[in-house]
Structure 1
Amino acid sequence: MGLLTNRVERNEIKPGDHIYTYRAVFAYSHHGIFVGGSKVVHFRPERNLDSSIDTSSNLLDPTFPQSTCPTFPDCGFRQPNSGVVLSCLDCFLRNGSLYCFEYGVTPSVFLAKVRGGTCTTAASDPLETVIHRAMYLLQNGFGNYDIFENNCEDFALYCKTGLLILDNLGIGRSGQASSVIGAPLAALLSSPLKLLMPSPIGVATVTAGMYCMTRYATDIGIRTDVIKVAVEDLAVNLGWAGRPDEAAEENEASNRQVVAL
């Protein structure tokens, strides 16, 4: 991985890594946790999983014939009414390139990455802890998908760090969502400067600076309104109706069958 790109080869990733790939000609990225055995646990809108229109989504729908993935019969496994899905690496990438999200980067490296959703200053927890969180959430869900407050990047960031934002309102942990909000916000805040700066270059420089600082201020490694939450307590902290402990224990056996690490 370098400063300009986080692209990696398949043999470079290891279980517990936060990986992502770009969709729709780099319009957005989709994130997940690589758990080994060529399997990825990731979070998607539940409505897309059940869509009969989007054929690409059917690859991840357990109600769709499993022959769509000829290699792994358990590809597409998910619990009912949950957007957390187990996919093989091929179905996750959909012929796209593979990228690895960076953790514990310095502020200078973070600001140098112009595009959000590629790195964070927050440190990653041990890889075995990351895998445990991902597999637990595969069995118990991650709440309702929200493009700004609870998306696939938020899922992967939580699995890697265990950090949860105390305030349920506003932007979530996702750097990609922060970029979407930060760009127009920076342009709006810099608009009055056009009256004071005759040079378009000066205005562009200030706008770019505001955009970078907005991204930095909302990074989960910088924010002060975060707390470490055990995955077993996540449902309570997010206000979900959590599953009973007995159900979680019953799922443990199927959990071991789903992925051979």
Structure 2
Amino acid sequence: MGFLSNKIYRDDVKPGDHIYSWRQAYVYAHHGIYVGEGQVNHFTRGDGQETGTGTFLDKIIVSSSVNHGENPCPNCGDRSQLGGVISSCLDCFLAGGDLYVFEYSVSPAIFLAKPRGGVCTIASSDPPEEVIYRANFLLQNGFGVYNVFKNNCEDFAIYCKTGLLVANTDVGRSGQAATMVAAASVVLSSPLRFVAGFGSLAVAGCGMYCVGRLVSDIGMRWDVSKVPVERLVTDMNDLVGMESKPEDEKMESEPEDKKTT
């Protein structure tokens, strides 16, 4: 694995590794946890789609798994109609792409040297056995509702590796999402319009992009906490149950101080 690329050979992947493969000519990467014996646990929206949140990405990101059609994988069968956390063989997960490993405990300098987000983090990983336990627990119990910016495949893999959750869910743990937000901030930032000279504009824009990526990294954020996977699933189930209740039942279950405000 080189400085500029996290590409590895299949023989080098280890149980508990956070792996990914690029999709759509390097537009987006699909992430998962290698749990051993040729199997990968990964998070999808369903019907073979990685998105589905009404964003422009839905038009360019079309599939997270191979649609085998009439020739299903002898190991997995046709996974294209499944959603949520699923388990696939390594071939189905890669969907014809190359294999890359997500790096943990990198220095800020190495983090910023990577031009694309979603390939490494400053945060440290938990031991492999704990990572695999989380990945298998979520395979049985789910990881909530898929959202390309707030709760995607990279968010799933990072949580399995670290057990960290973000309190502010406007943008989740995903480095890919943080990169998009940082790039958009540079483009839309009004102060940059008043910077004199193209060179100064480029330097200022690069600085804002780097800072935006760095402060959004799971290893740098202040609004994160370690959450046991059992509690995560319980909280998600409680939230789903609350959202499915009629409005009058929701009011009855709220604390008295919220009812009177």
Determine the C-alpha separation between the residues in 2 that align with 1:130 and 1:6.
20
Distance 1:57 1:32 in 2: 11
Q: CA deviation at 1:187?
A: 2.3
Within 5 Å, give how 1:150-229 maps onto structure 2: 150-168=151-169, 170-189=170-189, 191-198=190-197, 200-229=198-227
The DSSP-based 3-state class of the residue aligned with 1:176 is helix
Match of 2:143 in 1: 142
Cα separation, partners in 2 of 1:180 and 1:125, compared to 1, 3 Å: same
Q: Does 1:38 align with 2:38?
A: yes
State the alpha-carbon separation in 1 of the partners of residues 234 and 208 from structure 2. Answer: 36
Q: Which runs of 5+ in 2 are unaligned?
A: 50-60, 242-261
How far the C-alpha of 1:138 sits from its partner, in A, is 0.5
Change (3 A) 1:60 1:131: farther
- Cα 1:204–1:58 change in 2 (3 A) is closer
**Runs of 5+ consecutive residues of structure 1 not aligned to the other structure:** 243-261
Q: For 2:88, what is the secondary structure of its paired residue? A: strand
Residue 107 of structure 1 corresponds to 108
The Cα shift of 1:166 comes to 1.6
Other-structure match for 1:232: 230
For these two proteins, the number of residue pairs brought into alignment is 230
**1:97 alignment counterpart:** 98
Let me know the Cα RMSD of the aligned residues.
2.6
SS of structure 1 residue aligned to 2:232: helix
Determine the structure 1 residue equivalent to 2:26: 26
Shift of 1:237: 3.5
The Cα shift of 1:202 comes to 1.8
Partner of 2:4: 4
- Percentage of identical aligned residues: 50
2:73 is aligned with what amino acid? C
- Counterpart of 2:244 in structure 1 is none
Aligned AA (2:196): M
For residues 57 and 2 of structure 1, what CA distance do their matches in structure 2 show? 26
| Kept after mapping to 1: 8 A contact 2:48/2:67 | no
Scaled by the length of structure 2, the TM-score of the pair is 0.80
TM-score, normalisation: structure 1: 0.80
Q: Residues 57 and 97 from structure 1, CA distance in 2 versus in 1: closer, same or farther, beyond 3 angstroms? A: closer
Residue 231 to residue 47, structure 1, CA distance change in 2 (3 Å): same
- The AA in structure 2 aligned to 1:221 is G
Q: Shift in Å at residue 177 of structure 1?
A: 0.3
